[in-house]
Amino acid sequence: MLDLRLTRAARPAVQLRRLLVAAASAGTGFLLLSCLGYALKRPEAAGSGALRLAWCVVPVAATVYLALAVARTDPGTRPRPGLSAIGLGPARLMAVSALVTALSTTLGSLVALSLFLHLRGDLTGLPFDGAAASFLAAGKSLPLAATLTLLAVVPVVATVAVALALRPRDPRPVTRPQRRYLPFVRQAGGPAASGRSGKVEAAGGGGAAGEGTPAAAAPAGVIDPRFTSPSLTDKADDDKGPGDTPSGLPWAVALLAAGLTAQAYAGRTPPTPAFTFTTVPTGAGLFLLGWLLTAVGLVLAAPGLTHLCGRLLQCARPGALRLLAGRGLMAEATRIGRPLGILCAVTAAGYAVTTLYDAPGRPFGPLSALGALVVAGCAFATLLTVAVETRQGRAETTDALLRLGAPATVLRGAAALRAFALLAFFTPLTLAIAALAAFPLTR
């Protein structure tokens, strides 16, 4: 009952984000059911039906990523002092988050099923009865097992992803084994160390150790810290400070270059027949590989580029506004950079798809438009959700600055400057990569 109250007592903004997850789940579920209708209508075109189903992996991944971002920003399932005493520990809150995600995605799947049956003409009495009966196999019965399996894909995957991402972790740092560089002095109480200490005692006459005198031997079984490597405990990417540069930028640049090179090389011999979502010719494998490498490179490069934006904001004798905005970007580079890179990759892919379907013989159908809307909407909504999570994370810092007398206009100006810097940096970059990625398709 307490879990239900925590879920129902959420603010309207939290409920709106849950409705966005339900809407994305409904769109993805309708796409999956449309693939089932296409397979029922054209059983001889098994390859085309399997290809349509394979393309649905993209909206499924986008929906799951949005559900994960919404679950992380849910204030009702955040650990607070005193909740463990009433039975709401980290594991219970994780279960509540997974339950809320399951309910939201299941609601979306039910809406998708209702809309699918309504457009097929199975549900009457409402407007647009049977409006899409031509491509949804209206005259054939739906197999129950296949329908339930397709509708359960998004709820199951999203719930498992949320449970794994929000599982309780040990707050203590992980102790990793330290490497010993000199085996013959592994232990300060070993033979070599004891012999050496005996010589030192004989030379020094057993007096008190002064400056320049070697330290006393450590007890047996303890590794001498002089011969051990530094601590190998690394911070998580989300917990890095402003001075820590996100890793992976060189690999991201290499993947971007490899993807654009693969697309340029594939553009030398255009595949025949023409490449579409339902027909992928044999020579189009290099195109798809190039798009995949370019998208992964953009996602991996975005945190490092966001960190670079923060550094550029602070160059040339910055004032308080630019310094605050730049340090904020550097501290939040990894958290903001990943969804920003996904949005840039989706934008570049959308430009390439628009170029691909620019010919009059290849119209952009309603299902393709729905898939593009689901993916783009999930990417944009995820970025906004992560921005809300970032704002919640720096709430204590904001309160401290306000208590110190910082004007609220300065804080709002710093937030606006961060948004403007990201927009000014990533917009030309995304357009350039999109143009380069779509150039082989226009030849």
pLDDT at 185 over 80: no
Which of the pair, 146 or 201, is modelled with greater confidence?
A: 146
Query: Residue 12 — very low, low, confident or very high, per pLDDT cuts 50/70/90?
Result: confident
Closest listed residue to residue 71, CA positions, set 55, 95, 47: 95
Task: Give the pLDDT confidence of 63-94 residue by residue, as tens digits.
Answer: 999 999 999 888 766 666 666 666 667 778 88
Average pLDDT over residues 281-288: 64
pLDDT of residue 380: 94
Task: Give the pLDDT confidence of 399-436 residue by residue, as tens digits.
Answer: 888 888 888 888 889 989 999 999 999 999 999 988 88
Task: Give the pLDDT confidence of 15-43 residue by residue, as tens digits.
Answer: 889 999 999 999 999 999 988 888 888 87
pLDDT at 273 over 70: no
Average pLDDT over residues 323-334: 89
pLDDT at 331 over 50: yes
Rounded distance between C-alpha atoms, residue 72 and residue 161, angstroms: 11
What residues have CB less than 8 Å from 5, skipping those under 6 apart? none
pLDDT of residue 422: 93
pLDDT at 136 over 80: no
Q: How many residues are recorded in the chain?
A: 443
Average pLDDT over residues 296-305: 92
Query: Residue 361 — very low, low, confident or very high, per pLDDT cuts 50/70/90?
Result: very low
Which of the pair, 277 or 442, is modelled with greater confidence?
A: 442
What is the SS3 string spanning 332-370? CHHHHHHHHHHHHHHHHHHHHHHHHCCCCCCCCCHHHHH
pLDDT over 70, % of the chain: 68
Average pLDDT over residues 134-147: 79
Supply the pTM of this predicted model: 0.77
Rg (CA), the chain: 29
pLDDT of residue 167: 83
- What the block records as the tokens of 265 is 């090389």
Closest listed residue to residue 308, CA positions, set 437, 433, 424: 424
Which of the pair, 417 or 238, is modelled with greater confidence?
A: 417
Average pLDDT over residues 143-172: 88
pLDDT of residue 209: 43
pLDDT of residue 374: 94
What residues have CB less than 8 Å from 251, skipping those under 6 apart? 300
Q: Token pair 């939201």 is at which residue?
A: 104
Rounded distance between C-alpha atoms, residue 246 and residue 244, angstroms: 6
At residue 366, φ and ψ (nearest 5 deg) are -70, -35
pLDDT at 173 over 70: no
pLDDT of residue 79: 63
pLDDT of residue 395: 82
pLDDT of residue 32: 93
What residues have CB less than 8 Å from 108, skipping those under 6 apart? 21, 22, 23, 24, 25, 26, 27, 28, 29, 154
Average pLDDT over residues 242-264: 82
Average pLDDT over residues 380-389: 91
Q: Token pair 């190039």 is at which residue?
A: 290
Q: Would residue 130 be called left, alpha or beta, if left means φ above 0 and alpha means ψ between -120 and 50 degrees?
A: left
pLDDT of residue 401: 85
**Averaged pLDDT of the chain:** 77
